[in-house]
Each structure stands twice: as structure tokens, then as C-alpha cells.
Amino acid sequence: MHPQATMTYSVPAIHTVPQNEEPIFHSWNMGAYDRVDDLQDKYEMMNREMQALRGKEVLKQDVYDLCLVPNVQIPHKFKLLDFEKYKGTSCPKDHLTMYVRKMSTYANDHQVLIHYFQESLTGTTLKWYMNLDRAEIRTFSDLREAFIRQYKFNVDMAPYRSDLQFMTQGDRETLKEYAQRWRDVVVQVSPCIEEKKMTKLFLKTLRQFYYEKMVGSMPRDFTEMVSMGIQLEEGVREGRLAKGNEPTGSTRKFGNHLPKKKEQEVGMVAHGGP
């Protein structure tokens, strides 16, 4: 019996190249990433909208609080008037009188009177108005009392008639400038001074040169006295009149060598001629 023959086969050699493994993305993973990004965008958008709404609410509240009269109803065809600005250095009662008289058409509309009172203020007085509490200013009477209370010191410190007697003309101040300054003080004196008494009082404050020329022919009112003083100043500038220590006599001469007129004629010049 013959032995069984066996055959051997060699496994062929296979050469492979090593490869890096690539991540495998499944369709459900891609959808998850998209949803996360979408939610993030929606969250940011909602956050911006909430901040915008919150800002509008805060702005609306601030605007309301800033208004002293938030619900004021402006009359139809209302025209803003020109007011003299109050600076806090004069009588508050006088300023209120001026304001109310100009706004007399709206005397019964307290909201309008309160709202537009700020148009008559300036500087620190306007700042005072801006700091008023709406809860304490419900009517114009409340505003009026608060205003007078704030600037009452101007009334307490108002000049007296005796203060006018000690006023003098400045060295470089013309008579017209001095008269305007003096008259500004007069209006602050209470009670008011009559025109005739005021004219006499002003004459006593003038320098000796003006006093001597005008005392003999007392002007009828303050305006006439100032006009006479201006003419005397013009006479000095033109060399027709001399101020200061001038020689006495009726034949004194001026710089142009013309004989000086007599005192009676000078009085006529002061009045503007015969």
C-alpha cells in the first residue's frame, strides 16, 4: 500500500500600506451640531431684544421723571414769548410780576405757567428750576412760593435810599453812564422814590462842577437833568467850559482864546440855548 502524498502551499506575501483612521460622522451627529448652533444664535438674538426692551422702559421712565409737568397740554397755536432772564441778583417778586403779566392769557393754566417759567431763567436759577421736586410743585402758587423763598435774600439786601446818597461818579465814567448805573440801583429801592425827589437826590450826588451849573435851574425831571449834564460834558470837551480849579471872573478865556460867557449865559447853554 502506497503512502498518501501530501502537498504544501505557501501563502503569498501581501504588502499593505499603513493608513490613519478617519473619523466617521454619522448623520445624527451633524444634526445635533446644527441644532446647537441654531439655539445659540436664537439665544443671543433673544438676549439683544430683551436688552433693547429693557432700555426702552428705562428711557421712558427717566423722561417722565425729568419733566416737572409731564402731562402739560400746550395750547393750540401757542407762541413762545421773549422773557427777561432772571439771574438771581434782583427782586424775585418783580420777576414774577413781569412773567405773569406776559403770560396773563394763560393765568388759569397752572401747568403751562409752571412749564414755561424755565424760559425766563438762566444760569444758576435755571439749575434751581431743574432740581425742583414734582411732588412739591403742583400749582403755580407752589412754584411762586418756592421761587421767592429761594431768592428772598435779594429783597432783604435791597439798597436803601441812604445808599443812593453815597454813590459817586467814577473817574472814567461819563455822566450818562453814571446816571444809568444810579437809576439801576433806584429801581431796587423800596418803596419807590417819586420822580421829583429822585431828581433832587441825584443832583446832590453829582460833582461840584455839575451841581453848580444845574442847581440854579433845577431840571423838571431825571431825563432833563441827564441831558443837561451831557451838554455840560460836551462843553468841556470842546473847551468852552472848564472843570476843576478855574479862576474866577467874568472874562476868563478858553483854550481857543475866546472870552468866556457869563454864568447866566452858561446856564442857557446847559438848557440848550435861549
> Is 259 found in the same domain as 198?
yes
> Is 150 found in the same domain as 115?
yes
Residue that wins the pLDDT comparison between 261 and 194? 194
Q: How confident is the model at residue 167 (pLDDT cuts 50, 70, 90)?
A: very high
Write the burial class of residue 150 (CB in 10 Å: 0-12 exposed, 13-18 middle, 19+ buried). middle
Whether the per-residue pLDDT at 185 is higher than 70: the answer is: yes
Whether the per-residue pLDDT at 149 is higher than 80: the answer is: yes
Range of the domain at 176: 161-270
pLDDT (tens digit per residue) in 62-115: 665 677 877 778 877 888 888 999 999 888 999 999 999 999 999 899 999 999
The reply to whether 199 falls in a domain is yes
Tell me the mean pLDDT in the region 1-26.
57
The reply to whether 29 falls in a domain is no
Among 106, 122, 157, residue at a domain's last position: 157
> Is 239 found in the same domain as 183?
yes
Residue that wins the pLDDT comparison between 268 and 54? 54
> Is 151 found in the same domain as 54?
yes
> Is 254 found in the same domain as 197?
yes
> Is 150 found in the same domain as 55?
yes
pLDDT of residue 265: 43
The reply to whether 30 falls in a domain is no
> Is 186 found in the same domain as 252?
yes
> Is 166 found in the same domain as 153?
no
pLDDT of residue 64: 58
CATH number of the domain bearing residue 226: 1.10.1200
Q: Using CA of residue 78, residue 84, residue 88, residue 92, what is the dihedral sign?
A: negative
The pTM (predicted TM-score) of the whole model is 0.47
pLDDT (tens digit per residue) in 212-258: 988 888 788 899 999 999 999 999 999 888 876 544 333 333 333 33
Total count of domains within the chain: 2
The reply to whether 33 falls in a domain is no
The reply to whether 6 falls in a domain is no
> Is 169 found in the same domain as 81?
no
For residue 262, give the C-alpha cell. 457869563
The reply to whether 35 falls in a domain is no
Tell me the mean pLDDT in the region 179-186.
90
> Is 138 found in the same domain as 171?
no
Over the chain, what HEC string results?
Answer: CCCCCCCCCCCCCCCCCCCCCCCCCCHHHHHHHHHHHHHHHHHHHHHHHHHHHHHHHHHHHHHHHHCCCCCCCCCCCCCCCCCCCECCCCCHHHHHHHHHHHCHHHCCCHHHHHHHHHHHECCHHHHHHHCCCHHHCCCHHHHHHHHHHHCCHHHHCCCCHHHHHCCCCCCCCCHHHHHHHHHHHHCCCCCCCCHHHHHHHHHHHCCHHHHHHHCCCCCCCHHHHHHHHHHHHHHHHCCCCCCCCCCCCCCCECCCCCECCCHHHHHHHHCCCC
Among 137, 157, 177, residue at a domain's last position: 157
The reply to whether 88 falls in a domain is yes
The reply to whether 25 falls in a domain is no
Q: How confident is the model at residue 4 (pLDDT cuts 50, 70, 90)?
A: low
Whether the per-residue pLDDT at 122 is higher than 80: the answer is: yes
pLDDT (tens digit per residue) in 195-214: 888 999 999 999 999 999 88
> Is 171 found in the same domain as 261?
yes
pLDDT of residue 274: 44
> Is 122 found in the same domain as 70?
yes
